[in-house]
């Protein structure tokens, strides 16, 4: 199938809307990804220490 530019734009918008995690969920997502070894703490450089601490706690569970 060939997609038009308008269809691609609409698809991207729908995908972002449907799969956009809320900011409050990102801490949990990051913790789970570290636990699954799909993300490293080094890749989260720049986050505040309090956020990193929450992420570490979730990763340990």
Q: How far apart are CA 18 and CA 6, in angstroms?
A: 18
- For residue 40, the model assigns a pLDDT of 95
Q: What is the pTM of this model?
A: 0.64
Per-residue pLDDT band for 54 (boundaries 50, 70, 90) equals very high
pLDDT in tens, 3-47: 899 988 888 877 776 666 677 788 898 999 999 999 999 999 999
CB 55 within 8 A of CB 30: yes
Of 25, 57, 22, nearest in space to 41 by CA: 57
- Delimit the domains of the chain by residue range: 21-60
């Amino acid at each position: 199938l060939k997609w038009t530019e308008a269809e691609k734009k609409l698809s991207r918008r729908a995908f972002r809307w449907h799969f956009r995690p809320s900011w409050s969920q990102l801490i949990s997502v990051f913790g789970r990804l570290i636990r699954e070894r799909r993300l490293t703490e080094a890749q989260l450089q720049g986050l505040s220490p309090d956020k990193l601490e929450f992420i570490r706690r979730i990763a340990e569970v």
